[in-house]
Structure formats: C-alpha cells, structure tokens
Amino acid sequence: MASAYPSARTGTAQGLMRVVTKAYENRLDADGTVLPAKTEFQRRFIEPFSRAAGIIMGAVMELVPADWTVAFHNKVFLFLSGGHSYPFDAASPAVVAARALAARLEKESGRAPALLAAISHPPVMGELAHLNIELVRRATLVLREVRGRPCRPRMVVAIDPFALDTISVLEEGLYAGYMGRFHLGLDRLALGRGHPGPLMSPQTRWDRMPLRLFRSLAEGHEVGMVLSGGVPSTGRVLYGVREWSRRSRAASPLHGDPARALARLRADASFARFETAAAEHIPLPRGPWRLLEAWLMTAAAGLLPGETADSAARAELACLSVPEASRASLLAELSSDMTRETPARRRLFRLLAGRVARRRPLILIPVVHTAEPLGVTEREAWGVTWIGTDRVRVVRAGAPDRSQDMTAEELAERFTQENFS
C-alpha cells in the first residue's frame, strides 16, 4: 500500500512519528478504509488559500470581546457534535471548588494561576466518537468558569495531515489555519513536506509549539489539552515508550558511553532484526539513544512480528547492562503505561513544574468522558505550586487546607493514575 502519510527523512525526532503513521496505515489497509484523496496539486495551490482564510479568522478572534469567542466556540462545537451534547453545570461542586481554589491561590501568591484542562481521549470511531468534540467544548466552558472573568481559552490540537485525514483538503486548510493561529495547533509532520501550508504556520512546528504552550501557561493563560497527546495508541507509543526508554537509559552504566552502547545493541539478534525490518518503512535514526526509542516504539506499535514492547524492553535492558535490581520496577512501569489510556507523561509534568509552577500557581482540571453513564464530567482540580529542587506542593480543591509535597514525577503518576485509567 502507498504511504498515506509520507514522512521526509529529516534526521530529527519527526522520523519517529513514522512508526505511528505506519501502524495506522496497516490498520486502514486491514479494514479496507479509503481516505479522501488529497493530490499534490491541491496541497500546493488550494490548501494554502483555505489556510489563509483560517488564519484570518483566528486573527479576528483576537480582536472581538473575549466572552464572544467562548460563545462562538460553544456554538461551533454544538453544531459539530451533531446534537450529541451534554448539559454543562457551572454550579457543579467540581467547578465551584476549582474556581474557589484558583481564587485562593491567586490571593496567596499575588499572581493569577495558570489553568490547564487535562482532557481524556475517547475513540475516534464508533458511538463514543462524538465525545471528542464535547470534551473540547466542555473544557472551554470550564476554563472560563474557573477563571471567573473574561478570557480566551486555547486548545492544544494536532493540525497535521495525519490528524485531519478524514476531511477534505479545503476543510483541512481552514482548520489548520484557524487552530494554528488562535489555538495552539501542533503539526507533528511539519518538516520536509515541501508544501506552502506548514510555512504559513511556522509556530505550529512540533519543535516550536511546546515553547508556545509553556509560555502561554507561564503568562497565566487558560489552556486545554488531551493529556495522552493523541489517541491512546499514539500516546502509548509516542510518549509512554519514549519516556520509558530515557529512564532505562539513565539507569544504565553505559549512559555516558554511546559508542559502546551502540556496539552492544548491534551485537543483539533482536535489535538486528529490528534494524532490518524497520528500515523498510521508517527513517532509522543514527544515534544509539534515538535508535533505542525507535526499536521500542516499533515493537509497541506491532510492526515487528513476534516482538512486543515487553520483549524488546527486556532485550534493551540486557544490552545496556541495567542492574538486575532496577529491571523489575522499570518493566512494571512500562507494563502499566502500555495498558492505560494515558501514560504518566512524566516529562510533561516536569516541564509544567519547572517552566510554569516555578513562576505562578498551576491549576489542573481533569475533563474526562464516561461510558456508563455516557457523558462528560469535570473532576476535582489540583493546585500546584513550586517549592524548589524539582518539588511541588499539591492541594486538591476538595480539601484546600491539606497539602502534599511531591516531585513532579510523583505528581504525574498520581494525577494520571487517579483521573485517566
């Protein structure tokens, strides 16, 4: 099957996205799914004009009253949900408590807290698919309500061809332009496409957008994002596995000797099979550490016959001479992340602590979907303040007089474990 999501060999971490897109292409092929055709002509001469229209719309949203933008988005999301919506209760205990917590932390610190709505990700197909729109709508309303004054909530959303493969090229350009301009659009395949579209929205490049996110929060704004970083299968492979690989590398006595690590990898039969098989469909990285990530990702995505994330991880730990005493806990962490909708996202929480909570309080608001009963709900907000040396103080909205001190990684594990199964 021809590649539905061509990925240029850029020599960057973008090449690892090819693992995710290839796995999805295999699924499309197995299901017999046919995506809308998008020709090179359309990409070069039609999509840029619709993207320009979206960019203009985004600029307009910066000029109109802030509460008008919230009302506008609410109506758009209600329309897109096709009548499948659920009432939002601004007076619900979770929302009222979150607003009180935000006000309290603002009074104590003298700085308005940053607000982050952490959103779950239901399936993109089937009877739960409409919840994706409803979750974003609710996050927008929750952020405005918790802030307690006019604001312009922004959403972190993917705007690349992989994320927008089921809509027409005109709709894709309009969406990418608008979301990249007004919201925090993320293009995971920006480099090397050779089309005008990505050049029109340079701030959405995957290597630039994270700074935009942390800057927005550090300035005290309101942001909503899917905490898994995409559909669960993408989140597990792109974030869970990669972060685990970095932790296992840190536990290795070879972490400061990449040449020796690479030699040991090349001597392993399992790794040799990976390099031979993966070279056919992904641009293999050059350095040993990114090769390690690619190996585990490829196994976790089901692209290596007879190999699983667990078997590849065991082989990697042996290659890196990780002490036996550390292996069991590392494998348990990986096993846990591979079964969850949302991996712990430890690196994300370290950055949230160091780049946001260090400057102002951070309020985390879980906005999650439920299957029984079907719907969307807001859960207890968590307030996070920096206390130094990679440690934060956490207070929950339901018990604002009790706090816990923990590392950013402990916060990541507890928050995701309690709110995202």
Share of the chain above pLDDT 90, in %: 82
Reading the block at residue 225, the tokens are 């994002």
Q: Write b or e for each residue in 82-92: b if 16 or more Cβ atoms lie within 10 A of its Cβ, otherwise e.
A: eeebbebeeee
The number of angstroms, rounded, from the C-alpha of 158 to the middle of its chain's C-alpha atoms is 9
For the segment 287-299, the average pLDDT, to the nearest whole number, is 94
Q: What is the CA radius of gyration of the chain?
A: 22
* Dihedral pair phi/psi, residue 194, rounded to 5°: 75, 20
- Predicted confidence at residue 2, as pLDDT, reads 58
d(CA 350, CA 265): 29
DSSP count for the chain of H helices, then E strands: 18, 9
Q: Assess whether pLDDT exceeds 80 at residue 128.
A: no
d(CA 32, CA 96): 47
How many C-beta atoms surround the C-beta of residue 64 within 10 A?
Answer: 11
- Predicted confidence at residue 129, as pLDDT, reads 80
Tokens 């006595």 locate to: 253
d(CA 73, CA 16): 33
- Alpha-helix runs per DSSP H in 38-130: 40-45, 47-63, 66-80, 93-109
Share of the chain above pLDDT 70, in %: 99
Tell me how far CA of residue 265 lies from CA of 251, 280, 288, in angstroms: 16, 19, 8
- Predicted confidence at residue 286, as pLDDT, reads 84
The string of pLDDT tens digits covering residues 394-409 is 999 999 999 999 999 9
Q: Assess whether pLDDT exceeds 70 at residue 249.
A: yes
Cβ contact 173:50 at 8 Å: yes
Residue 386: closest CA among 372, 406, 368, 367: 406
Q: Assess whether pLDDT exceeds 60 at residue 1.
A: no
**pLDDT-wise least confident of 93-97, 123-127, 231-235:** 123-127
**Every domain of the chain and the residues it spans:** 46-228+342-419, 235-337
Mean pLDDT of the chain: 93
For the segment 271-298, the average pLDDT, to the nearest whole number, is 90
- Predicted confidence at residue 107, as pLDDT, reads 97
Tell me how far CA of residue 7 lies from CA of 1, 210, 261, in angstroms: 15, 21, 28
Q: How many CA atoms, within 13 angstroms, populate the side-chain half-sphere of residue 161? A: 26
The string of pLDDT tens digits covering residues 295-345 is 999 999 999 999 999 999 999 999 999 999 999 999 999 999 898 889 999
Reading the block at residue 282, the tokens are 């992904």
DSSP element (H, E) containing 15:
none
Q: Is 401 helix (H, G, I), strand (E, B) or coil?
A: strand
The string of pLDDT tens digits covering residues 189-232 is 999 988 999 999 999 999 999 999 999 999 999 999 999 988 88
Q: Assess whether pLDDT exceeds 90 at residue 3.
A: no
Q: Is 206 helix (H, G, I), strand (E, B) or coil?
A: coil
- Predicted confidence at residue 10, as pLDDT, reads 87
Tokens 């988005």 locate to: 73
**Cβ neighbours of residue 280 closer than 8 Å, sequence gap 6 or more:** none
Amino acid of residue 59: A
Cβ contact 40:167 at 8 Å: no
How many C-beta atoms surround the C-beta of residue 63 within 10 A?
Answer: 8
The string of pLDDT tens digits covering residues 13-66 is 999 999 999 999 998 899 898 889 999 999 999 999 999 999 999 999 999 999
Q: Assess whether pLDDT exceeds 60 at residue 352.
A: yes
- Predicted confidence at residue 151, as pLDDT, reads 98
- Predicted confidence at residue 229, as pLDDT, reads 87
Supply the pTM of this predicted model.
Answer: 0.95
- Predicted confidence at residue 268, as pLDDT, reads 94
Give 91's pLDDT tier (boundaries 50, 70, 90): very high
d(CA 288, CA 290): 6
Whether omega for the bond prior to residue 361 falls within 30 degrees of 0, making it cis, is no
DSSP characters over 258-308: HHHHHHHHHT-HHHHHHHHHHTTTS---SSHHHHHHHHHHHHHTT-STT--
